[in-house]
Chains A and B, each alone.
Chain A
């Protein structure tokens, strides 16, 4: 635990992340304005005292939209990581434990990996309607196979361990063994993987918003705010800039955190593809 705390990447990443999270949690008092409130009289205003980040084409306050956008984007990131890890853990344990289904499960995972993630996500969202839930699931599905592979490989490795084999021979029940020995072993790589999934989910959310295939446009996610600002890039760059900068800082901090955790928790993973 001390090693983690001393790691520079973790320190910087954690500090930035806490800062962004704080602005998101405290969005209503900080912004002091409704992110959906339209004031056509003040449209496309550059940053001024009343609107520190300027306004968009409907006169909505970009500061309010950016801070509230943080709530959406962080929720999407965390929710996607949670869904992908939970699904991956469940499927991975079953695949590693029940040999009969292993082959089938792994072929299905190969198939899902073969479908480009963003295509799968936009197709899923277009077909099931854009809500927070469908966007989270759609971004999480393509991430599942990698988690499954990770968990499965740990399960297989643990099964071979002499003390596990001995325990099995002594009549211990496998599910219990899995919970006792596999879970602790998967925890470190899962946390690392989860942080990368979380970062990439926020980027994917912004891309989906940009393509017009993400969250309902009324929701001020960073992707949506940036997508609305693309037309006005030359006359009102602040619409694109502020949410873009917040997104970059957030993703950067989560990635730094992930790198730091990887280096301290699991040195073997160092350098492996995220």
Chain B
């Protein structure tokens, strides 16, 4: 009875709290984003939605522009010693945290260390770091143990994990624990009181932000917030989101389903545009620890089974939005090549059957995880189940939501004990743009490789060789060697590339082309 009374009292109190929301008269950008923001720490998780949240509230030392050049962002000037071993960075003036305190070199040092403990490229950088220290309020110095060509490439990393700079007190948090609150120095301020997990995230313009003078280009250049308030809405039903956009109830729809694009294109009030010039790569991730995919022949069989155009037509549909591409580092990227790609470009059911037999496949169930709430990946899992069954594989399709999949994929137990054999996923082109950025090509075994735990010392040597290749002319050959090895190792099967156009109300101006959705520079007419 007590609990009953308490609850009713709580209900009454609650309505009073909810009723006290502020009315708004300022310019508000309402965006339906691709996922619900569940965690707020972009170093702790690699989730894209948390990375995008990071771009809203945090700032970066450097950033990549649309020409793939590294540009300074928080950094004003930097110098490198002649031997390439000592790097000194100076922050620009006017940087301040959302709570008013100035950004210091100590904040940057702590942030780099925390990021370096989690991110793959960060770990590599830390491996060759002798010392990292703040010299004064605005200057810090990085000393290396050997010359390293990817210092700026690492510090300017555009996708997860991005080196976002946090206040020192937050950056000292254990990298495996989440930061307690959101205090950044970026162009937008997170409004904690109005965050409704599962429904809405609210940001307001950071009035104190001093943008750079250069024009914006991807994450580089001046970040000028041109609306007072940005609301991220999570609408799981994509048809509802589309109708809301058509009716003008929202302004921006980040990830509209490809099949619905024609309806939006037909509306004069809505613009559909490809903002990400790089695209997205589809993966079928294999578990190298357990049969059958502990055997290289079984993995090769997978390459012969996957027909990119068939998969892409089924899950994306309209040919305008996809392209077959066997290149591990993406088509249109500096390291595009089809070296070693014959098995993936061909389709041969009999050969796949024979390879599976050679691998000793004994008809045991192959656990394929299907994330039912991510339409494209769910479809890819269904397609794969179909071809695998044609090849005589006993597929056990296990349906689950994406968040369950992300916890299941981390289990290295056997498939009979809640482990897995295959799951579909996708990465934006920026994440796989070269051998070092692409953690998914790592052959670092249980300790360092991504889920699936491919184990191949040769692969690690080849990636290392790419990282330490300081002659840009030689880099392509190094990357090509990595790709050759990847087709032998098969850390994942690439089922092709596609683009995710954005749909928005035609009265929005200044939406930036970028592989990552950016909300500065957007004005509402």
Given contacts A43-B313, A217-B372, contact A235 B263 (CB under 8 A): yes
Task: Check B382–A234 contact: CB distance below 8 A.
Answer: no
Interface segment, A33-41, A105-113, A179-187, A200-208? A33-41
Task: Check A41–B313 contact: CB distance below 8 A.
Answer: yes
Given contacts A230-B239, A231-B239, contact A36 B386 (CB under 8 A): yes
Residues of A within 8 A of B257 (CB): 231
Task: Check A57–B317 contact: CB distance below 8 A.
Answer: yes
Q: Does A135 contact B (CB under 8 A)?
A: no
Given contacts A57-B259, A212-B373, contact A218 B310 (CB under 8 A): no
Q: Does B127 contact A (CB under 8 A)?
A: no
Give Cα distance in the complex from A130 to B260, angstroms: 30
Give Cα distance in the complex from A44 to B379, angstroms: 14
Residues of B within 8 A of A36 (CB): 386
Indicate with 1 or 0, residue by residue over B225-255, a CB within 8 angstroms of chain A CB atoms.
Answer: 0000000000001110000000000000000
Question: In the complex, which residue of chain B has the Cβ closest to the Cβ of A234?
Answer: B263
Among B262, B313, B370, chain A packs the most CB atoms within 10 A around the CB of: B313
Q: Does B397 contact A (CB under 8 A)?
A: yes
Given contacts A44-B259, A235-B263, contact A216 B382 (CB under 8 A): no
What's the nearest-Cβ distance from chain A to residue B194, in Å? 27
What's the nearest-Cβ distance from chain B to residue A189, in Å? 33
Q: Does B383 contact A (CB under 8 A)?
A: yes
Give Cα distance in the complex from A36 to B372, angstroms: 16
Task: Check B238–A231 contact: CB distance below 8 A.
Answer: yes
What's the nearest-Cβ distance from chain B to residue A56, in Å? 10
Give Cα distance in the complex from A236 to B123, angstroms: 49
Task: Check B370–A44 contact: CB distance below 8 A.
Answer: no
Given contacts A130-B399, A231-B238, A231-B239, contact A38 B263 (CB under 8 A): no
Task: Check B397–A38 contact: CB distance below 8 A.
Answer: no
Given contacts A212-B401, A216-B399, A231-B375, contact A43 B263 (CB under 8 A): no
Chain A stretch 221-254: residues in CB contact (< 8 A) with chain B: 230-235
Question: In the complex, which residue of chain B has the Cβ closest to the Cβ of A215?
Answer: B399
Of the residues A37, A59, A218, A230, contact of B314 by C-beta under 8 Å: A59
Q: Does B378 contact A (CB under 8 A)?
A: yes
Of the residues A43, A58, A212, A235, contact of B260 by C-beta under 8 Å: A235
Chain B stretch 381-432: residues in CB contact (< 8 A) with chain A: 382-383, 385-386, 397, 399, 401
Of the residues A38, A218, A235, contact of B259 by C-beta under 8 Å: A235
Question: In the complex, which residue of chain A has the Cβ closest to the Cβ of B238?
Answer: A231
What's the nearest-Cβ distance from chain A to residue B491, in Å? 26
Task: Check B399–A58 contact: CB distance below 8 A.
Answer: no
Indicate with 1 or 0, residue by residue over B296-337, a CB within 8 angstroms of chain A CB atoms.
Answer: 000000000000001001100100000000000000000000
Given contacts A44-B259, A218-B382, contact A234 B239 (CB under 8 A): yes
Give Cα distance in the complex from A218 to B158, angstroms: 37
Question: In the complex, which residue of chain A has the Cβ closest to the Cβ of B404?
Answer: A126
Interface SS of chain A: loop
Among B257, B260, B262, B399, chain A packs the most CB atoms within 10 A around the CB of: B399
Task: Check A58–B382 contact: CB distance below 8 A.
Answer: yes
Task: Check B260–A44 contact: CB distance below 8 A.
Answer: no
Question: In the complex, which residue of chain A has the Cβ closest to the Cβ of B398?
Answer: A216
Residues of B within 8 A of A217 (CB): 370, 372, 378, 399
Give Cα distance in the complex from A212 to B263, angstroms: 25
Indicate with 1 or 0, residue by residue over A52-67, a CB within 8 angstroms of chain B CB atoms.
Answer: 0000011100000000
Interface SS of chain B: helix
Give Cα distance in the complex from A136 to B262, angstroms: 40
Of the residues B263, B373, B397, B401, contact of A218 by C-beta under 8 Å: B397
Give Cα distance in the complex from A58 to B384, angstroms: 12
Give Cα distance in the complex from A58 to B378, angstroms: 11
Residues of B within 8 A of A216 (CB): 397, 399
Residues of A within 8 A of B382 (CB): 38, 58, 218
Residues of A within 8 A of B372 (CB): 212, 217
Question: In the complex, which residue of chain A has the Cβ closest to the Cβ of B395?
Answer: A218
Give Cα distance in the complex from A234 to B313, angstroms: 20
Given contacts A230-B239, A234-B263, A235-B260, contact A218 B317 (CB under 8 A): no
What's the nearest-Cβ distance from chain B to residue A211, in Å? 10
What's the nearest-Cβ distance from chain A to residue B404, in Å? 9
What's the nearest-Cβ distance from chain B to residue A217, in Å? 5
Residues of B within 8 A of A230 (CB): 237, 239
What's the nearest-Cβ distance from chain A to residue B198, in Å? 14
Residues of A within 8 A of B383 (CB): 38, 40, 58
Task: Check A218–B260 contact: CB distance below 8 A.
Answer: no
What's the nearest-Cβ distance from chain B to residue A115, in Å? 14
Task: Check B314–A58 contact: CB distance below 8 A.
Answer: yes
Give Cα distance in the complex from A77 to B372, angstroms: 24
What's the nearest-Cβ distance from chain A to residue B137, in Å? 52
Task: Check A233–B399 contact: CB distance below 8 A.
Answer: no
Give Cα distance in the complex from A49 to B105, angstroms: 71
What's the nearest-Cβ distance from chain A to residue B1, in Å? 14
Given contacts A57-B379, A58-B383, contact A40 B310 (CB under 8 A): yes
Chain A stretch 174-194: residues in CB contact (< 8 A) with chain B: none
Chain B stretch 333-376: residues in CB contact (< 8 A) with chain A: 370, 372-373, 375
Residues of B within 8 A of A218 (CB): 370, 382, 385, 397, 399
Of the residues B238, B317, B373, B401, contact of A44 by C-beta under 8 Å: B317
Question: In the complex, which residue of chain A has the Cβ closest to the Cβ of B258?
Answer: A57
Residues of B within 8 A of A57 (CB): 259, 314, 317, 379
Give Cα distance in the complex from A218 to B389, angstroms: 14
Residues of A within 8 A of B378 (CB): 217
Question: In the complex, which residue of chain A has the Cβ closest to the Cβ of B246?
Answer: A234
Give Cα distance in the complex from A235 to B238, angstroms: 13
Task: Check B401–A43 contact: CB distance below 8 A.
Answer: no
Residues of B within 8 A of A59 (CB): 314
Q: Beyond the given A57-B259, A231-B257, could you list 19 further A-B residue pairs with CB under 8 A, ordered by the A residue number?
A: A38-B383, A38-B386, A40-B313, A40-B314, A43-B314, A57-B379, A59-B314, A212-B372, A212-B401, A217-B399, A218-B370, A231-B239, A231-B259, A231-B260, A232-B259, A232-B260, A234-B239, A235-B260, A235-B263
The 9 closest A-B pairs by CB, nearest first: A40-B314, A40-B313, A216-B399, A217-B399, A217-B372, A231-B239, A58-B314, A231-B238, A218-B397
Chain A residues in the interface with B (C-beta under 8 A): 36-38, 40-41, 43-44, 57-59, 130, 212, 216-218, 230-235
> What would 16 A/B residue contacts be, using CB atoms closer than 8 Å?
A37-B386, A40-B314, A41-B313, A57-B317, A58-B314, A59-B314, A216-B397, A216-B399, A217-B399, A218-B382, A218-B397, A230-B237, A231-B237, A231-B238, A231-B259, A232-B239
